[in-house]
Amino acid sequence: MLKNSRCYFFVVVLLAVLFNGCTDDDGADPNIPGSDRDKYTGNWLCKETIAGNSPNTFTINIQKHGADDTLYVYNFNNLGASNYTIWLISENSVTIPMQSVTSTDVSGTGFYNSDKISLNYSSDSDQLTALCTR
């Protein structure tokens, strides 16, 4: 009788572990860096400013790519809708690693807050800021 009780206990524990593993993966897991990149995807209106010049406004399109922390940003720095820049994200922080897009060197950082992305970056020798909104 004791063996049957242990067997039933083992089966119940095993089933509990299996059912616990069957959870919905649609939501972002805050414990995995970059898993919440859905908040970045889509079209954004960017107002870009170079000190001393009038702001330039254009649309970017952000898409997920590859690893959970990687985004492709099309038309970043108004470099053309078919050209993309790679952004790396970690929660609300954006890193734009040094890269060349259409012979223009870009790099910088940014921050996501309240459905806005604030950016500070360089484009060749220019220092720019941008505020991107939906």
- Residue 9's pLDDT is what? 57
- Residue 89's pLDDT is what? 95
User: In terms of DSSP H, where are the helices of the chain?
Assistant: 2-20
pLDDT tens sequence across 86-110: 999 999 999 999 999 999 999 999 9
Q: Which residues pair with 112 in a beta bridge?
A: 117
pTM of the entire predicted model: 0.74
Which helix (H) or strand (E) element contains residue 48? strand 42-50
Sign of torsion over alpha carbons 49, 104, 82, 93 = negative
Topology of domain 37-133 in CATH is Lipocalin (2.40.128)
pLDDT tens sequence across 47-91: 999 988 999 999 999 999 998 999 999 999 999 999 999 999 999
Question: Could you tell me what percentage of the chain is helix, strand and coil, using 3-state DSSP and rounding each to the nearest 5?
Answer: 20, 50, 30
- Quick one: how many helices (H) and strands (E) in the chain? 1, 8
Which residue in this structure is represented by tokens 């970059």?
34
Q: Is 116 helix (H, G, I), strand (E, B) or coil?
A: strand
Q: What are the boundaries of each domain within the chain?
A: 37-133
pLDDT at 121 over 70: yes
C-alpha distances in Å from residue 3, one per residue of 10, 17, 47, 121, 134: 11, 21, 71, 68, 63
pLDDT at 30 over 80: no
- On average, the pLDDT of the chain sits at 85
